[in-house]
Amino acid sequence: MAVRIDGKAVAATVRAGVAEEVAALKEKGIFPGLAVVIVGDDPASRTYVNNKKKACAETGIYSEEYALPASTTQEELLRLVETLNQKKDIHGILVQSPLPDGLDEEAVVEAISPQKDVDAFHPENVGRIMIGNFHFLPCTPAGVMELLRSQNIEVAGKRCVVIGRSNIVGKPMAMLLLHQNGTVTICHSKTQNLAEICRSADILVAAVGKPKFVTADMVKPGAVVIDVGMDRDENGKLCGDVDYANVEPKVGYITPVPGGVGPMTIAMLLKNTITAAKLQNGWQYEA
Ligand code: GUN
């Protein structure tokens, strides 16, 4: 029987801390502000954006939404990003992904001022993470690290396996575990002996995007299993990358889907927005 890591509860604690810090910043005349840009009408993106705005309102962060039609051109989107880069009351800029076909997401991310890049997707911020001299951490991997910290799970010296090598989760996740002195392996679709490598993991992070991909025979007894997946099972029900029902009895810690990593992502975005507000007001970042 595993400890079920309650992401909702941990996220609530982070958000309470954010609310306190926002109140303290306001006393100093600093009003953290986030701009959220959504292009087109992808329903999942709409839900994410609504949740982000709601979380800002609940913690006292000022937010602005820019909802653009799917017909928006690259030039129009870049012009908006440039306007937001210059806007003094906006400290963080988030362009919700995916963008409609025809828009160059990479160019848009590169146009965001690195000091306002609260997703930490800009190449400058990615590079900073690589060398360990960063202002922002990408929200989902940072949320995973916070979940591990919440349970006092030591990473140093542990064998960590990350399944998935995306730029927004897998790669930065591996780097953050490495920063904490984990011994890290990244697995992907071309990996041979995947199950065997996963079985060696003390800490297993699944970020593949395939429902119930991690089965009970792929985990070490007592392991820590973190599920970043947001998938749908054969009945259309929300589930993760881990076959929770069969894996849970075997491992030491596990995150549920929903209610695990998901709630952490927005909590870390709020933290990054505060960091951005501080940075733009001449404060050094405290790790
Ligand atoms: N789409 C799905 N997740 C994210 C995220 O963390 N940031 C942005 N900008 N878009 C996303």
Summarised one tens digit per residue, pLDDT across range 24-71 is 999 999 999 999 999 999 999 999 999 999 999 999 999 999 999 999
Confidence of residue 263 (pLDDT cuts 50, 70, 90): very high
Amino acid in the structure at residue 213: F
User: CA 50 to CA 143: how far, in whole Å?
Assistant: 19
Contact of 197 with 191, CB cutoff 8 Å: yes
CB 224 within 8 A of CB 247: no
**286 pLDDT above the threshold of 60:** no
CA 194 / ligand 1 centre spacing (Å): 27
Active site residue 52: yes
The rounded distance, in Å, linking the Cα atoms of 192 and 92 is 41
Ligand 1 centroid, distance to 262 Cα (angstroms): 12
Q: According to the model, what pLDDT value does residue 284 have?
A: 64
Atom of ligand 1 nearest to the CA of 95: 9
Mean pLDDT in residue range 261-276: 98
Distance of CA 195 to CAs 158, 161, 170, 217, 218, Å?
Answer: 18, 11, 17, 7, 5
Which pLDDT score, from 0 to 100, does residue 285 have?
52
Q: Are 162 and 170 in contact (CB under 8 A)?
A: yes
Q: Which domains does the chain have, with CATH numbers?
A: 30-113 (3.40.50.10860), 139-262 (3.40.50.720)
Q: Once rounded to an integer, what is the mean pLDDT over residues 221-228?
A: 98
Residue 287 is predicted with a pLDDT of 45
Tell which atom from ligand 1 comes closest to the C-alpha of 119.
7
